[in-house]
């Protein structure tokens, strides 16, 4: 190997609560390489990149950057030395333009110097993806924001770009754009440390892979010598059952309709969306990012004040009877929960977790509310037992159920937010990107869980960007485009390619025009 750009030697990190997140990690990243970093939820990936980026000082061990031993005083020091980190939630300023965001680090963004436009044009040329300088970042798709974040890294002179799950909520097309950009830039000499739970991406994109498990490197190998099976085994430490091996639910066409949505509209978002879900059905909403698929779930849950239309759970109307608008934010979600709807939003960690409360309380909150409505106040012992069960069912890695979500890895916090709804008495489940951010083992567990819910007679609606997953877990798929339902298929009779075409509106002959 040529002289590494970055070298970590025997790095350990112990948090104040005693968690040993890194237990002697060594890693070498070559200049201009694309280096994959993978591992199960809680394996230590985020902690490692925080050490690299100067957010956490290592407890012991050393970091060598461009041949010199360094210890970053703060993240600014790492950035100035040529190390950029792009996190999943990209901290761009929505009210500023692309140009202003790209040069944010240099300040003075209210008056954009003329030279910056030329520099911007050069950066865009290097990236090989057309991004307009004057568009507001708030108006961009997540994929385009990734591109802006990459431009920002280039503008800061980054030689190593650390990308933390860059494609987690991207559509297939957007993923390809990110891949192309990474390949192109690495060809020009920029190195990437690429973190992803999508092992096919890792195999496709990287030249070298490091696998972490329980804070240790368990595999470090050239990608050409790896296959998916080896990688899966190394990440999860076990043989995985494929999702397909969980028996699929065969829908019963005579089963009662549990959820009925009729004429659901919301100005600028949704137009006349109508569908039914029977007991035991898993219905998938497929569409590109921004198609309105998540908005449908939010509106059904009552989280869209402008929405109109009729929603029923069994015979019970939901969100009815308000004069000004059928859906009032203050009443909507409560009425939905009372009617038996559980909603796991995409951004569940921010929307669904109380970060200051321990894990066991987070898991028991809806259960507590339901029990209290029934006149029974659960004992703390019961709530703790419930939480322990959830930790076992979902394989949540935490020091204990008294940890707070802030002390958990991203994927494990996702699982806590999910677990929160598991033991309630919901009849309808609305799941937005249920497997986002979770590792390959937990993904299979969660999908198995969705099937179990259906087998218990629940009505489930799932939104996911991963079409393969959608087809594996759903009985029926509705395709959403520009806020309308444009096609419906039995999942068993549909291929991923067809789904992709429909979502993009490419088969005009078979799809009603979405207008
Ligand atoms: N601030 C913290 N305080 C205490 N423990 C922490 C803290 N941050 C992370 N941990 C613990 O360190 C371990 C590694 O977490 P880390 O976030 O690095 O995992 P990860 O591999 O990035 O997981 P994911 O794929 O879920 O993002 C976990 O056991 C986690 O609970």
Q: What is the pLDDT of residue 177?
A: 87
Distance, C-alpha 284 to centroid of its chain: 17
Q: Which residue has the tokens 């059928």?
A: 326
Q: For 136, which DSSP code? A: B
Ligand 1 centre from 44 Cα, in Å?
6
How many CA atoms within 13 Å lie on the side-chain side of 461?
30
Q: What is the pLDDT of residue 371?
A: 56
- Region(s) of the chain under CATH 3.40.50.300: 6-236, 256-340+427-508
Question: pTM for this structure?
Answer: 0.72
Ligand 1 centre from 449 Cα, in Å?
24
For residue 278 the two structure tokens come to: 């029977």
With pLDDT > 90 as the criterion, what percentage of the chain qualifies?
Answer: 46
For residue 47 the two structure tokens come to: 């902690």
Q: What is the pLDDT of residues 142-178, one digit of tens each?
A: 788 889 999 999 999 999 999 998 877 677 778 888 8
* Other beta carbons less than 10 A from residue 470's beta carbon: 21
3-state helix, strand, coil in the chain (%, to 5): 40, 25, 40
For residue 395 the two structure tokens come to: 């394989």
Specify the residue with its C-alpha closest to ligand 1, atom 12. Answer: 21
- Kindly compute the dihedral angle of the four CA atoms of residues 503, 482, 136, 78, in this order, to the nearest 10 degrees: -30
Tally the residues of the chain.
Answer: 515
- Ligand 1 pocket, CB under 6 A: 15, 17, 19, 21, 39, 41-47, 397-398, 407-412, 439
Ligand 1 centre from 117 Cα, in Å?
40
Instruction: Ligand 1, residue 408: give the atom nearest the CA.
Output: 31
Q: Which of 64, 56, 55 is nearest to 26 (CA)?
A: 64
pLDDT band at 353 (very low <50, low <70, confident <90, very high): confident
Burial class (CB in 10 A: 0-12, 13-18, 19+), 448: middle
- Class of domain 256-340+427-508 (CATH, top level): alpha beta
| Contact residues for 139 (Cβ-Cβ < 8 A; gap 6+) | none
Instruction: Ligand 1, residue 49: give the atom nearest the CA.
Output: 18
Distance, C-alpha 66 to centroid of its chain: 33
Q: What is the pLDDT of residue 111?
A: 57
Q: What is the pLDDT of residues 269-318, one digit of tens each?
A: 999 999 999 999 999 999 877 789 999 999 999 988 889 999 999 999 99
For residue 143 the two structure tokens come to: 């994929």
Who has greater pLDDT, 6 or 117? 6
Bridge partners for 490 per DSSP: 476
Q: Which of 254, 255, 299, 193 is nearest to 458 (CA)?
A: 255
Q: What is the pLDDT of residue 220?
A: 96
Rounded CA separation 132/129 (Å): 10
Ligand 1 centre from 21 Cα, in Å?
6
> Which CATH superfamily includes the segment(s) 6-236?
P-loop containing nucleotide triphosphate hydrolases (3.40.50.300)
């Amino acid at each position: 190997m040529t002289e590494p750009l970055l070298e970590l030697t025997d790095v350990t990190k112990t948090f104040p609560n005693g968690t040993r997140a890194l237990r002697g990690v060594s890693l070498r990243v070559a200049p201009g390489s694309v280096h994959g970093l993978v591992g199960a939820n809680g394996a230590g990936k985020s902690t490692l990149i925080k050490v690299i980026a100067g957010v956490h000082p290592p407890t012991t061990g050393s970091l060598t950057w461009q041949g010199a031993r360094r210890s970053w005083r703060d993240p600014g020091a790492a950035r100035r030395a040529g190390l950029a980190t792009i996190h999943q939630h990209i901290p761009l300023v929505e009210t500023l333009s692309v140009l202003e965001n790209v040069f944010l680090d240099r300040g003075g963004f209210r008056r954009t110097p003329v030279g910056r436009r030329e520099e911007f044009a050069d950066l865009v040329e290097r990236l090989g993806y057309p991004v307009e300088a004057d568009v507001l970042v708030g108006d961009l798709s997540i994929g385009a924001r990734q591109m802006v974040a990459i431009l920002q890294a280039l503008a800061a002179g980054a030689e190593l770009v650390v990308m933390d799950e860059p494609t987690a909520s991207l559509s297939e097309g957007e993923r390809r754009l990110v891949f192309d950009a990474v390949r192109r830039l690495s060809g020009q000499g920029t190195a990437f440390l690429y973190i992803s739970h999508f092992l096919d991406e890792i195999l496709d994109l990287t030249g070298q892979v490091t696998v972490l498990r329980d804070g240790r490197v368990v595999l470090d190998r050239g990608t050409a010598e790896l296959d998916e099976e080896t990688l899966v085994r190394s990440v999860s430490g076990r043989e995985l059952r494929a999702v397909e091996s969980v028996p699929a639910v065969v829908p019963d066409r005579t089963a009662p309709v549990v959820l009925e949505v009729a004429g659901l509209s919301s100005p600028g978002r949704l137009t006349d969306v109508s569908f039914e879900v029977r007991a035991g059905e898993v219905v998938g909403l497929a569409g590109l990012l921004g198609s309105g698929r998540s908005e449908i779930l939010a509106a059904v849950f009552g989280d869209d004040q402008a929405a109109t239309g009729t929603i029923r759970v069994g015979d019970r109307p939901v969100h009815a009877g308000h004069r000004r608008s059928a859906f009032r934010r203050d009443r909507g979600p409560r009425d939905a929960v009372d009617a038996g709807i559980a909603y796991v939003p995409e951004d569940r960690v921010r929307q669904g977790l109380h970060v200051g409360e321990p894990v066991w309380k987070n898991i028991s909150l809806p259960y507590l509310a339901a029990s209290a409505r029934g006149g029974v106040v659960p004992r703390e012992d019961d709530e703790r037992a419930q939480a322990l069960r959830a930790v076992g069912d979902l394989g949540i890695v935490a020091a204990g159920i008294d940890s707070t979500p802030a002390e958990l890895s991203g994927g494990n916090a996702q699982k806590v937010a999910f677990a929160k709804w598991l033991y309630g008495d919901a009849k309808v489940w609305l799941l937005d990107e249920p497997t986002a951010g979770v590792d390959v083992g937990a993904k299979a567990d969660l999908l198995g869980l969705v099937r179990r819910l259906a087998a218990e007679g629940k009505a489930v609606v799932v939104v996911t960007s991963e079409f393969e997953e959608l087809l594996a877990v759903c009985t029926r798929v509705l395709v959403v485009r520009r806020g309308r339902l444009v096609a419906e298929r039995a999942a068993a009779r549909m291929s991923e390619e067809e789904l992709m075409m429909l979502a993009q509106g490419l088969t005009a002959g078979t799809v009603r025009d979405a207008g």
